[in-house]
Structure 1
Amino acid sequence: MDKILKAAKAIALARRNRAPLAALDHPPADEAEGYQVQRALHDLLLPQVGPLVGYKIGCTSQVMQDYIGIPHPCGGSVFQKGVHESGAKLAAADYVRVGVECEIAVRLKRDLAAGEAPFTAEWVGEAVEAYHPAIEIVDDRYVKWETMGAPTLIADDFFAAGCVLGEAVPRSSVPDLKAVKGRAIVNGEEVSHGTGADVLDHPHNALAWLANHLAAEGKGLHAGQLVLTGSLVKTLWLKAGDKVRMELDGLGTVEAEFT
């Protein structure tokens, strides 16, 4: 069995068992190999997570790059069973160590095919149908994530564990995304805030990065897919009983409770 599949199987086993992952016996050598493992992992996980419905982009803000120690964006995936509506009550026990991030999510109205690359922020912005205020759910599935290294974190979908979406806001009525202020409220208390400009200077820059990243692998984005563009705030780690609310000016609010 090749090294890519071995790594994918080790990660899939840990995810199915909700067991913290220690260092892999055969970790991916670099980020390109990390994405190969990620694709192999998806094939193993599909029966339990449902079809791929979109992507998440990690490390798009300075606060997150500093926190994770990776100076550029990284991609992960969003699966059907991980997408919830605002007001969702989710069991904290379904995660190893659950955390949340405050995000602007986009829904695409048309395909962004690999052959159209290179993509610019303006170009991908035209392909957006609507935006959602979003809580990205992340899961620290590691014995110690700080020692795992970017290739392994990428292989395991870069902490992705789903999302909670607020009401869609059509592109025609969306405010200047750069100026959108996001507030993270846990148990009624504001704990953090950021703005759309914190996400690579504009969330569409993150979307363009993802489209170009996928195009380099010969893949495209598709109409109807969801993209979480990156966190406006540093990850907030939660405990059972926590109630979370994200308020994004002009985009609305989204709430979840971890029981």
Structure 2
Amino acid sequence: MLSAAEITAAADDLLDAERGRHQIGLLSLRHPQITLEDAYAIQSAQMARKLAQGRRILGWKIGLTSKVMQAALGIDTPDSGVLYNDMLFQSGATVPAGRFIQPRIEAEIAFVMKGPLSGSVTREAVLAATDYVTPALEILDTRILRHDPATGTARKIFDTVADNAANAGIVLGETRHAPDAVDLRWTGAILRKDGAVEATGLGAAVLDDPVTGLVWLARRMGQYAQRIEPGQVILSGSFIAPIECPPGTAIAADYGPFGQISIDFA
């Protein structure tokens, strides 16, 4: 476990890295004793600072929902992070040069809520609390090095969670669907990078059903006396591997009848 001073120092370093567009060393190497609770405490410390500065919570992201990504980090559970109002991009927008450090893209299904959720909830309760679902792209970025340059050690789940689950931006689609009007397990996308097909995937890659992620998130938030609020956007998890987006990249995701969405990087 980390001390309060160590948690504050780590949060300060990550906030400074975000402002300065640079990366810090692995927290898991700096603090070998770090726990998942410590990592979420570091994330929460940053959230408190950002809210005090006037940013607002847009919603929440669920990450590490695929077996492949969980195996890569040696875990068997998803993680979560905070979406802020200044992270939102419209479909078709261009991300300004220098906005992010090492941006990557993931294709997801977003849930926009009309009712609150917290604690042990059912799949049916999630659907009843959802206003609509829509295509979404998550922009990932990392304020922590992916690998330690001296040892080659890869970042761990503690690093990712402390770094707001690597979240940096969100692109929402314009089509809206009732959550029970489509089989979200069979909802997927063909994602093109610079005009060429880069990845394809289906919602079933997300915990077998994207709704399951919201069941998990509501339970996790309930443990900390938090809840998913009406109007919030929930990113349910990616069904493709992250795609690198260096300057000049054009991303377009075709979800078929579910909708289309795109984003460019200057």
TM-score, length-scaled by structure 1: 0.92
Segment drifting more, 98-107 vs 35-44: 35-44
Q: 2:98 aligns with which of 93, 101, 119?
A: 93
CA distance in 2, matches of 1:163, 1:83: 5
Q: Is the 8 A contact 1:87 1:255 kept in 2?
A: yes
What stretches of structure 2 of length at least 5 have no aligned partner? 148-152
Range with greater deviation from structure 2 (249-258 or 219-228): 249-258
Q: Find out whether 1:50 has 2:55 as its counterpart.
A: yes
1:148 counterpart residue number? 155
Counterpart amino acid of residue 178 in structure 2: R
Q: Cα RMSD (Å) of the superposition?
A: 1.9
| Structure 2 residue aligned with 1:183 | 190
CA distance in 1, matches of 2:179, 2:138: 24
Distance 1:14 1:172 in 2: 38
Q: Equivalent pairs: percent with the same residue?
A: 30
CA contact (8 A) 1:58 1:73 kept: yes
Shift of 1:66: 3.6
Residue 239 of structure 2 aligns with an amino acid whose one-letter code is: L
2:238 is aligned, of 231, 238, 241, to 231
Structure 1 window deviating more from structure 2 (81-90 vs 26-35): it is: 26-35
**Mapped pair 1:254 → 2:264:** no
| Cα separation, 1, equivalents of 2:13 and 2:244 | 25
Out of 5, 11, 15, the residue aligned to residue 8 of structure 2 is 5
What amino acid maps onto 1:131 in structure 2?
V
In the other structure, the counterpart of 2:178 is: 171
Question: Paired residue for 1:119?
Answer: 121
Q: How does 1:198-213 map to 2 (within 5 A)?
A: 198-213=205-220
Q: How many residues align?
A: 256
| Map 1:126-145 → 2, pairs under 5 A | 126-145=128-147
**Paired position in structure 1 for 2:76:** 71
Provide closer, same or farther for how the CA distance between residues 247 and 69 of structure 1 changes in structure 2, counting only shifts above 3 A: farther
The structure-2 alpha-carbon separation of the partners of 1:98 and 1:257, relative to structure 1 and needing over 3 Å to count, comes to same
Residues of 1 paired with 2:265 and 2:203: CA distance? 26
* 8 A contact 1:50–1:79 mirrored in 2: yes
Q: Who is 1:160 aligned against?
A: 167
Q: What's the TM-score once normalised by structure 2's chain length?
A: 0.90
Alpha-carbon separation, structure 2, partners of 1:28 and 1:126: 41
* Partner SS, residue 230 of structure 1: coil
2:23 corresponds to which residue?
Answer: 20
Is the Cα–Cα contact under 8 Å of residues 144 and 163 in structure 2 kept in the other structure?
no
For residues 23 and 167 of structure 1, the distance between their equivalents in structure 2, rounded to whole angstroms, comes to: 38
Segments of 5+ residues of structure 1 without an aligned counterpart are none
The structural deviation recorded for 1:131 is 1.0
Does the 8 A contact of 2:142 with 2:163 survive in 1?
Answer: no
CA change 1:29–1:134 in 2 (3 A) is: same
Please list the CA deviations of residues 153-198 of structure 1 after superposition, one character each: whole Å capped at 9, or x if unmatched: 1011111001111114131674211111222111111111110111
Deviates more, 1:48-57 or 1:193-202: 48-57
| TM-aligned CA distance change 1:65 to 1:247, over 3 Å | farther
Distance of aligned partners of 1:27 and 1:211 in 2 relative to their CA distance in 1, 3 Å threshold: farther
Distance in structure 2 (CA, Å) of the matches to 1:48 and 1:139: 21
Instruction: Decide whether the 8 Å contact of 1:183 with 1:190 is kept in 2.
Output: yes
Question: For the structure 1 residues 6 and 258, does the alpha-carbon distance in structure 2 shift closer, same or farther, using more than 3 Å as the test?
Answer: same
Per-residue deviation, 1:119: 1.2
Judge conservation of contact 2:70–2:77 (CA < 8 Å) in 1: yes
Q: Counterpart amino acid of 1:253?
A: Q
User: Does the 8 Å contact 2:130/2:179 carry over to 1?
Assistant: no
